[in-house]
């Protein structure tokens, strides 16, 4: 869907930058050793190093070191298209993992994308993602579906809900346009706490419905970002194998939104977007800028999305 970006989306974006009352909004959370940590990733840990100098000079300087991390899977982060692939049949979890049969977006094979276990992604890596500068639509599902409270774990934002929110927020006539970024505020981001003493945020959450994922693909949305940890809806107990995915999720594809967006439609995901302030100010339309790190062959990247727009009424 990034092929939709260019002069047309930049031109559509520009008026939001020029509004007299426009302001910039940070849509990421601060990264730290004590932020909520993904159960699917190596814990993020950085050390601050002592202040040092250069002999014979007046200089003093500071640096930091990364001790451990899955940088593209922690904090506010963006998925590369090569993050997900699909197997020809379900893996039983007992035999050797049949990675050689994996198929990726565009029909690429495992040999095309990740030919050896320790190989970076040769295709579909985050370094192939372009700068995303385009119009963004924010939908307030916390208000529309949660009635002012965060959506429940496993609750889904459906295609019908997207249409309803567009109309409720005065965007029915505009709708979703090719090349838009779609931000969905579920309220789950309200549970992001640093330090993460409760260990609650990454255990479950609401998410995008399968029919909604198909809708945004039809509309040629370039990227979708929710204030939740998985993009997909995760009911209580699902990560522990004690609960099934929500109704309508195909068998064997519990993370079908990741599957559909990355391996089928070519739509990037951002997880853990910080959308509370944008929603509070009712900035339903904005110009957004999203620049992932160009890590060669990376499956994802830490990201600092921003939106620039004027508050609504």
Give the dihedral sign, CA 27/32/38/42.
Answer: positive
With H, G, I as helix, E, B as strand and everything else as coil, classify residue 283. coil
Write down the pLDDT at residue 103: 98
Q: Give the model confidence (pLDDT) of 38-89 as tens digits.
A: 999 999 999 999 999 999 999 999 999 999 989 899 999 999 999 999 999 9
Cα 113 to the center of its chain, rounded Å: 21
> Quick check: 233 and 194 in contact, CB under 8 A?
no
Question: Do residues 283 and 312 make contact, with C-beta atoms less than 8 angstroms apart?
Answer: yes
In whole angstroms, give the CA distance from residue 79 to residue 39. 16
- Which residue stretches of the chain have pLDDT < 50? none
Question: In whole angstroms, what is the distance from residue 48 CA to residue 121 CA?
Answer: 30
pLDDT for residue 134:
97
Task: Give the span between the Cα atoms of 205 and 103, in whole angstroms.
Answer: 28
Check whether the bond before 195 is cis (ω within 30° of 0): yes
Domains annotated on the chain, with CATH: 2-31+70-310 (3.50.30.50)
Q: Would you list the DSSP string of 292-312?
A: ----TT-SEEE---EEEEE--
CA–CA distance, 180 with 249 (Å, rounded to integer): 25
- Strand, coil or helix: what is 308? strand
DSSP per position, 220-250:
T-SEEEESSSSSS-B-TTTTTTSSPPPTTPP
User: What pLDDT is attached to residue 71?
Assistant: 87
Q: Which of 259, 270, 207, 285 is nearest to 75 (CA)?
A: 270
* Closest by Cα among 137, 131, 135, 111 to 122: 111
| Measured distance CA(152)–CA(236) in Å, rounded | 9
The percent of residues in the chain predicted with pLDDT above 70, rounded, is: 100
Contact 222, 4 (CB under 8 A): yes
pTM score over 0.75: yes
Residue 70's contacts (CB-CB under 8 Å, 6 or more residues apart) are 38, 40, 41, 42, 44
Residue 72 CA to chain centroid, in angstroms? 10
Q: How far apart are the C-alpha atoms of 220 and 224, rounded to whole Å?
A: 11
């Amino acid at each position: 869907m990034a092929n939709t970006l260019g002069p047309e989306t930049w031109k559509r974006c520009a008026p939001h930058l020029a509004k007299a009352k426009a302001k910039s909004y940070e849509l990421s959370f601060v990264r730290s050793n004590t932020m909520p940590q993904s159960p699917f990733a190596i814990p993020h840990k950085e050390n601050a190093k002592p202040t040092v100098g250069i002999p014979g000079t007046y200089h003093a300087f500071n640096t930091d070191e990364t001790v451990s991390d899955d940088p593209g899977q922690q904090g506010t982060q963006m998925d590369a298209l090569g993050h997900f692939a699909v197997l020809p049949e379900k893996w039983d979890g007992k035999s050797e993992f049949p990675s050689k049969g994996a198929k990726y977006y565009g029909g690429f094979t495992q040999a095309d994308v990740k030919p050896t276990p320790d190989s970076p992604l040769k295709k579909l890596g985050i370094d192939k993602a372009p700068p995303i500068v385009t119009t963004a639509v924010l939908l307030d599902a916390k208000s529309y579906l949660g009635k002012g409270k965060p959506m429940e774990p496993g609750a889904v934002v459906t295609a019908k809900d997207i249409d309803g929110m567009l109309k409720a927020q005065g965007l029915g006539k505009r709708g979703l346009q090719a090349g838009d970024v779609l931000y969905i505020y579920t309220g789950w981001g309200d549970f992001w706490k640093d330090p993460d003493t409760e260990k609650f945020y990454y255990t479950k959450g609401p998410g995008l419905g399968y029919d909604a994922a198909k809708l945004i693909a039809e509309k040629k949305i370039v990227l979708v970002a929710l204030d939740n940890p998985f993009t997909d809806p995760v009911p209580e107990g699902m990560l522990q194998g004690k609960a099934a995915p929500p109704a309508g999720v195909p068998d064997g594809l519990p993370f079908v939104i990741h599957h559909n967006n990355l391996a089928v439609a070519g739509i990037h995901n951002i997880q853990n977007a910080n959308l509370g302030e944008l929603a509070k100010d009712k900035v339903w339309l904005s110009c957004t800028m999203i620049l992932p790190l160009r890590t060669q062959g990376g499956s994802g990247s830490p990201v600092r999305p921003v939106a620039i727009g004027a508050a609504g009424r």
